[in-house]
Amino acid sequence: MFLEIVTPEATLFKGEVTSVAVPGVNGEFEMLKDHAPIVSLLKEGHVKLYGDIQLEEEVEDRFTKEDRGVWLAINSGTIELKDNKVIVLAD
């Protein structure tokens, strides 16, 4: 599925991922390909990207690399998933 992470300063990530987990206001949840459409508010936590993640050099320092993927710390935001395209608007 395609993921785009946008902040007020810049677009931090655009690309294909296997899955993405986010800190929803009612708890963390993960989305895979063909997930039902969803819109949710996000709280402080980490957006976790899984798959073969290729980060742009200028934003690499904003992410934390892990064995399975990468994490991005956020303060709050919103997420929309529709037709295998995820858009995260994050602070």
Mean pLDDT, residues 45-70 taken together: 94
Confidence of residue 66 (pLDDT cuts 50, 70, 90): confident
Q: Is 3 helix (H, G, I), strand (E, B) or coil?
A: strand
The answer to whether the beta carbons of residues 17 and 53 sit under 8 Å apart is yes
From residue 31, alpha-carbon distances to 1, 35, 67, 69 in Å are: 9, 6, 19, 14
Task: State the pairing for strand pair 77-82/38-42.
Answer: antiparallel
The answer to whether the beta carbons of residues 37 and 82 sit under 8 Å apart is yes
Fold entry, domain 2-90: ATP Synthase; domain 1 (2.60.15)
> What pLDDT digit, counting tens, does each position of 14-53 carry?
999 999 999 999 999 999 999 999 999 999 999 999 999 9
Which residue ranges make up each domain of the chain? 2-90
pLDDT value at 68 more than 90: no
